Structure 1
């Protein structure tokens, strides 16, 4: 039986990884701050990763596999120091945000990274690079996965799901779009990513991301699934910026929209993931799950990303 320690295990992605491991017969222990339960069948150790003794309860035994999803390089480095010698395998979930090259289309895992974060630098991509550096010290028993945009039901970021909500709530009314021509999207279903992390024997660095799709085609597919019957109105980059709409994520944003010069951000190579047996379910299957999830959670709920319907309608009234 495989003994797995997940540093996390109670969140959206890490919880799914834990459940997939349990299905395969592994013994799973989750180390987390608390506030959320571990998946049924997994044990839970409560620990504050800022504390010096965070790993004392789990450092006295051998682990077949340690999996870490943290975005805090200090946490990752401390975990490697405390547990690295006792781990047969180590997987770290990094991010495409580790790359500094955002322009090269089709870039693979050799693309230029950001400099690693130093003390006091909380920039997400640089933190991920510093964390990767700590994990690499363990040698060839490590896997570093770099997901792009992770999507699926229950997504706490509300980014991909925003478009399901936008089309659902509008019904036969208009929906505001960003520029969609010559823009691309790459996503990975959370269940495909968790399956890969839980089952692969691959090592090294792998871009765990889906195939490249035109943004226009993706939004059309979401619109069809949501049954939207109204018009769509695309505004220019300059107009949206002028009117206080943000790129990508956060309040008053249009998710999936990126500056036109970021031609490489959503067009990276996933050849190594494919070669390692990584699965990519049909995008329509993921879209169906997201639309159903947004309907179940309610299109009028507070969101972490996107426009409120009131803001969207106000903006639409300003477009000539």
Structure 2
């Protein structure tokens, strides 16, 4: 199969390129080159924001896999490239809020972004909806088919966000006698290993799967994720659950970013937002490795990272929080 990957040098795109090349496909990656391309692929340097950014890949392709979030880039690519099948990596953020409901592919979506450029992360869901629309309409007009892969939280080796990796790393490198965790053990967590998502995306290209698919991991309670992270780290410290009002009072953020406890969301309306119904993808052949394997491999990668982690608590922050929790005033 002659496969064009729009992207392919960072995290998910890189994993897709490695998977496809490993299966013997002829893989070409078009990217700006912000990271070195994987081995065994043809790398074409190009900027999709430029009018002629696709000039060097205007050819016949058996499939195209696209990971962008910019509607204008998708519209131009669908119009200029020739292929019978398009695989577009979308997101769970396309679904309209429905508190307490696990999203399925037929649920209502947010309104699509009207313009070509996503201006901020607040427009992420609408931008991806606009991208989906462009792919669906463009491929239908060309007599082709399209896979819309609505991905949930992606983790595994190479995830610079640190959302999943923070937990095994923190248990492996405690800042004190315990690890601060949210007192919300039943919070539903669904994370897919980047390698499993990449494998399914290549499957989708090979099989020309048509339509929308939720693609993420099985739902696991946060308490089980933290216990598995501790085992992966061989931890000798205990978890210290802290109630949610106290975390808010101490200025601890949810989900990701600085001074945060990742994976967990403190907004009750978003409790099921990433716990997608994946039955359609599973029926199509989605294969998921054990969470323990993902955590162990992610920890091994975290030990080699040279960039600051973008999520979690620093040692100093966790020590400060622990000291405030232990102070007589806080206990009172």
For 2:202, the equivalent position in structure 1 comes to 198
The equivalent position to 2:174 in structure 1, one of 167, 170, 177, is: 170
- 1:185 alignment partner in structure 2: 189
Matched residue, 1:88: 84
Question: What whole-Å deviation, never above 9, does each CA across 1:122-165 have from its counterpart, x for those lacking one?
Answer: 31111111111111111251001011111111212111001112
Q: Per-residue deviation at 1:225?
A: 1.7
Bigger shift: residues 112-121 or 3-12 = 112-121
- Deviation of the 1:44 alpha carbon: 1.2
Partner residue in 1 for 2:244: 237
Cα deviation per residue 1:212-268 (whole Å; 9 max; x = unaligned)?
111001101101221222232222222222222211111111111102332221322
Q: Distance in 2 between matches of 1:191 and 1:15?
A: 10
Structure-2 separation of matches of 1:102 and 1:264 = 8
Q: Helix, strand or coil: the match of 1:107?
A: coil
1:64 matched to which residue of 2?
Answer: 62
Q: Would you identify which runs of 4 or more consecutive aligned residues in structure 1 move more than 4 Å?
A: none
Report the secondary structure of 2:43's partner residue.
strand
Counterparts of 1:267 and 1:46 in 2: how far apart (Å)? Answer: 37
- Residue 114 of structure 2 is aligned with which of 118, 137, 140? 118
After superposing the two structures, state which structure 1 stretch, 263-272 or 215-224, moved more: 263-272
1:295, CA displacement in angstroms? 2.8
Contact 1:3 1:64 in 2 (8 A): yes
Shift in Å at residue 107 of structure 1? 2.5
1:130 partner SS: helix
| SS in structure 1 at match of 2:254 | strand
Other-structure match for 1:75: 73
Paired residues of 1:10 and 1:37 also in contact (CA < 8 A): yes
Q: Which residue does the alignment assign to 1:271?
A: 279
TM-score, reference length from structure 2: 0.90
1:101–1:111 CA contact under 8 A, matched in 2? no
Q: Is the 8 A contact 1:76 1:134 kept in 2?
A: yes
Matched, 1:250 2:264: no
The separation in 1 between residues aligned to 2:271 and 2:35, in whole angstroms, is 38
Alignment of 1:199-238 (within 5 A): 199-200=203-204, 201=207, 202-238=209-245
User: TM-score scaled to structure 1, two decimals?
Assistant: 0.93
Q: Distance in 2 between matches of 1:291 and 1:19?
A: 21
Q: Which residue of 2 aligns with 1:307?
A: 313
Contact 1:3 1:28 in 2 (8 A): yes
CA-atom RMSD in angstroms: 1.7
**Per-residue deviation, 1:292:** 2.1
SS of equivalent residue, structure 1 residue 306: coil
Answer yes or no: is 1:288 the counterpart of 2:287. no
- Secondary structure in structure 1 of the residue aligned to 2:28: strand
Give, in whole Å, the separation in 2 of the partners of 1:118 and 1:82. Answer: 21
| Aligned partner of residue 180 in structure 2, secondary structure | strand
Do the aligned partners of 1:5 and 1:65 also contact (CA within 8 Å) in 2? yes
Unaligned runs of 5+ in 1: none
Q: How far apart are the structure 1 equivalents of 2:179 and 2:202?
A: 39
> Once the 2 structures are TM-superposed, how far is the Cα of residue 25 of structure 1 from its aligned partner?
1.7
Taking the aligned partners of 1:121 and 1:38, their CA distance within structure 2 comes to 26
Determine the C-alpha separation between the residues in 2 that align with 1:184 and 1:49.
37
Retained in 2: the 8 A contact 1:103–1:263?
yes
1:132 paired with 2:132, answer yes
**8 Å contact kept, 1:171–1:228:** no
